[in-house]
Amino acid sequence: MSNIKYILGSFADPDQMMDGIDKLQKNNIEIYDCFTPMPIHGIEAKLGVKPSRLPIVAFCFAVLGAILGFSLLYYTMVHDWPMNIGGKPAFAAPAFVPVTFEVTILLCALGMVATFFFRNHLFPGRAPRVMDIRATDDRFILAVDAKTNTDHELIDSLLKEAGAVEVKHNERKYISYE
Amino acid sequence: MRPYSYQHEYNFSDKYQFAGIAKILSLIAIAVGVIVIAMGFLSSNEVMVERTYANLLLMAYYFACVCAAGTVFVALQLVTQSGWSAGLIRVPQAMSSILPIASGLLLVIIVLGLFSDNLYQHWNAEGLMDPNSPNYDPLVAGKEAFLNLPGFLTRQILFMGAYSILAYLIAKISYKEDLEGGLYSYKRTFKLSAIFLVIFGFTSPIWIFDTVMSLEAHWFSTMFGWYNFAAMFVSGLSVITLIIILLKKAGYMPWVNENHLHDLGNLIFGFSIFWAYVWFSQFMLIWYSNIPEETVYFYKRWEPEYKPWFWLSVIMNFVAPLLLLVDRDAKRKQGLMMFVCILLLCGHWLDFYIMIMPGTVEMNRGFGLSEIGIGLGFIGLFVFLVFNKLGKHSLAPANHPFLDESLHHQV
DSSP calls for B29-95: HHHHHHHHHHHHHH-S-HHHHHHHHHHHHHHHHHHHHHHHHHHHHHHHHHHTT-STTGGGTHHHHHH
Judged by CB atoms closer than 8 Å, whether chains meet at A86 and B288 is answered as: yes
Judged by CB atoms closer than 8 Å, whether chains meet at A94 and B288 is answered as: yes
Q: How far is B321 from chain A (nearest CA, A)?
A: 16
Q: What is the pLDDT of residue B61?
A: 96
Average pLDDT, rounded, for chain B: 92
Does residue A60 sit in the same domain as residue A114? Answer: yes
Domain count, chain A: 2
Establish if B411 belongs to a structural domain. Answer: no
* Domain containing residue A28: 6-51+128-170
Q: What is the pLDDT of residue B128?
A: 85
Q: Residue B41 burial (CB < 10 Å; 0-12/13-18/19+)?
A: middle
Q: How confident is the model at residue B194 (pLDDT cuts 50, 70, 90)?
A: very high
Mutate to test the interface with A, among B282, B325, B405, B410 (most CBs of A within 10 A): B410
Judged by CB atoms closer than 8 Å, whether chains meet at A88 and B288 is answered as: yes
Q: Which residues of A touch B327 (CB under 8 A)?
A: 55
The ipTM value here is: 0.80
The reply to whether B298 touches chain A by the CB within 8 Å rule is: no
Nearest to A94 among B284, B326, B328 (CB): B284
Does residue A96 sit in the same domain as residue A39? Answer: no
Neighbouring residues of B48: CB distance < 8 A, sequence distance ≥ 6: B40, B370
Average pLDDT, rounded, for chain A: 90
**Are the CB atoms for B160 and B60 separated by under 8 Å?**
no
pLDDT for B135-178, tens place per residue?
A: 888 888 889 899 999 999 999 999 999 999 999 999 999 999 88
Q: How far is B284 from chain A (nearest CA, A)?
A: 6
Q: How far is A156 from chain B (nearest CA, A)?
A: 32
Residue B6 clears pLDDT 90, i.e. is over it: no
pLDDT for A32-41, tens place per residue?
A: 999 999 988 8
SS3 B306: coil
Task: Quote the crossing angle between the two packed helices B184-211 and B46-79, to the nearest 10°.
Answer: 150
Judged by CB atoms closer than 8 Å, whether chains meet at A42 and B410 is answered as: yes
Q: Which residues of B touch A98 (CB under 8 A)?
A: 284
Question: CA-CA-CA-CA torsion for B390, B392, B395, B396, nearest 10 degrees?
Answer: -130
SS3 A17: helix
Bridge partners (DSSP) of residue A175 are A130
Domain count, chain B: 1
Residue B60 clears pLDDT 50, i.e. is over it: yes
Does residue A43 sit in the same domain as residue A60? Answer: no
Judged by CB atoms closer than 8 Å, whether chains meet at A41 and B288 is answered as: no
Residue B401 clears pLDDT 80, i.e. is over it: yes
Would residue B253 be called left, alpha or beta, if left means φ above 0 and alpha means ψ between -120 and 50 degrees? left
Q: How confident is the model at residue A1 (pLDDT cuts 50, 70, 90)?
A: low
SS3 B290: coil
Q: What is the pLDDT of residue B364?
A: 83
Residue A178 clears pLDDT 70, i.e. is over it: no
Q: Which of B55, B161, B192 is nearest to B99 (CA)?
A: B161
**Are the CB atoms for B92 and B240 separated by under 8 Å?**
yes
Q: Which residues of B touch A41 (CB under 8 A)?
A: 408, 410
Residue B3 clears pLDDT 70, i.e. is over it: no
Q: Which of B264, B248, B268 is nearest to B411 (CA)?
A: B264
Establish if B404 belongs to a structural domain. Answer: no
Q: What is the pLDDT of residue B5?
A: 41
* Domain containing residue B383: 15-391
The C-alpha atoms of residue B317 and residue B262 are separated, in whole angstroms, by 19
Q: How confident is the model at residue B1 (pLDDT cuts 50, 70, 90)?
A: very low
Lowest-confidence region among B6-20, B154-168, B326-340:
B6-20
In one-letter notation, the amino acid at residue B256 is: V
Q: Which residues of B touch A97 (CB under 8 A)?
A: 280, 284
Establish if B339 belongs to a structural domain. Answer: yes
Give me the residues of B, 313-342, that contact A with CB < 8 A: 326-328
Establish if B250 belongs to a structural domain. Answer: yes
The C-alpha atoms of residue B147 and residue A168 are separated, in whole angstroms, by 79
The count of C-alpha atoms lying within 13 angstroms of the C-alpha of B328, restricted to the half-sphere facing its C-beta, is 10
Q: Which residues of A touch B257 (CB under 8 A)?
A: none
Closest-CA residue in chain A for B411?
A41
Degrees to nearest 5, angle at CA A100 with A95 and A105: 140
Q: What is the pLDDT of residue B13?
A: 82
Does residue A62 sit in the same domain as residue A109? Answer: yes
Establish if A1 belongs to a structural domain. Answer: no
Does residue A17 sit in the same domain as residue A70? Answer: no
The C-alpha atoms of residue A142 and residue A170 are separated, in whole angstroms, by 13
Q: How far is A101 from chain B (nearest CA, A)?
A: 11
Q: How far is A94 from chain B (nearest CA, A)?
A: 6
Establish if B3 belongs to a structural domain. Answer: no
**Are the CB atoms for B229 and B351 separated by under 8 Å?**
no
The reply to whether A42 touches chain B by the CB within 8 Å rule is: yes
Establish if B8 belongs to a structural domain. Answer: no
The C-alpha atoms of residue A125 and residue B199 are separated, in whole angstroms, by 52
Residue B256 clears pLDDT 90, i.e. is over it: yes
Q: What is the pLDDT of residue B4?
A: 41
Establish if A176 belongs to a structural domain. Answer: no
The C-alpha atoms of residue A48 and residue A35 are separated, in whole angstroms, by 15
Q: How far is A135 from chain B (nearest CA, A)?
A: 23
Four-residue CA torsion sign, B290, B295, B300, B306: negative
Establish if B410 belongs to a structural domain. Answer: no
Number of other residues whose CB lies within 10 A of the CB of residue B145: 7
**pTM for the whole structure:** 0.90
Does residue A89 sit in the same domain as residue A66? Answer: yes
Nearest to B280 among A59, A87, A97 (CB): A97
The reply to whether A41 touches chain B by the CB within 8 Å rule is: yes
Query: From the CA atom positions of chain B, what is the Rg in Å?
Result: 22
pLDDT for B350-395, tens place per residue?
A: 999 999 999 888 888 888 899 999 999 999 999 999 999 999 999 9
DSSP letter string over B177-245?
Answer: HHHH-SSHHHHHHHHHHHHHHHHHHHHHHHHHHHHTGGGGTT---TTHHHHHHHHHHHHHHHHHHHHHH
Q: H-helix or E-strand containing A129? A: strand A129-130
Mutate to test the interface with B, among A40, A97, A102 (most CBs of B within 10 A): A97
SS3 A11: strand
Q: How confident is the model at residue B7 (pLDDT cuts 50, 70, 90)?
A: low
Q: What is the pLDDT of residue B181?
A: 84
Task: Provide the CATH number for the domain around residue A26.
Answer: 3.30.70
- Please list, residue by residue across B337-363, b when 16 or more beta carbons sit within 10 angstroms of its beta carbon and e when fewer do: bbebbebbbebbbbbbbbbbbbbbbbe
Chains A, B: CB contacts under 8 A, how many? 22
Does residue A66 sit in the same domain as residue A96? Answer: yes
Closest-CA residue in chain B for A92?
B288
Establish if B2 belongs to a structural domain. Answer: no
Residue B228 clears pLDDT 80, i.e. is over it: yes
pLDDT for A53-94, tens place per residue?
A: 999 999 999 999 999 999 999 999 999 999 888 888 899 889
Q: Which residues of A touch B328 (CB under 8 A)?
A: 51, 55
Q: Which residues of A touch B288 (CB under 8 A)?
A: 86, 88, 92, 94-95
Q: What is the pLDDT of residue B180?
A: 87
Q: What is the DSSP secondary structure assignment for residue B329, as one 8-state letter?
A: G
Average pLDDT over residues B62-81: 96
Does residue A87 sit in the same domain as residue A114? Answer: yes
The reply to whether A94 touches chain B by the CB within 8 Å rule is: yes
Domain stop point among A77, A98, A119: A119
Q: How far is B174 from chain A (nearest CA, A)?
A: 30
Q: Which has the higher per-residue pLDDT, B180 or B240? A: B240
Q: What is the pLDDT of residue B385?
A: 96
Most confident of A159-163, B231-235, B255-259, B305-309: B231-235
Nearest to A95 among B284, B408, B410 (CB): B284
The reply to whether A113 touches chain B by the CB within 8 Å rule is: no
Q: Which residues of A touch B283 (CB under 8 A)?
A: 94
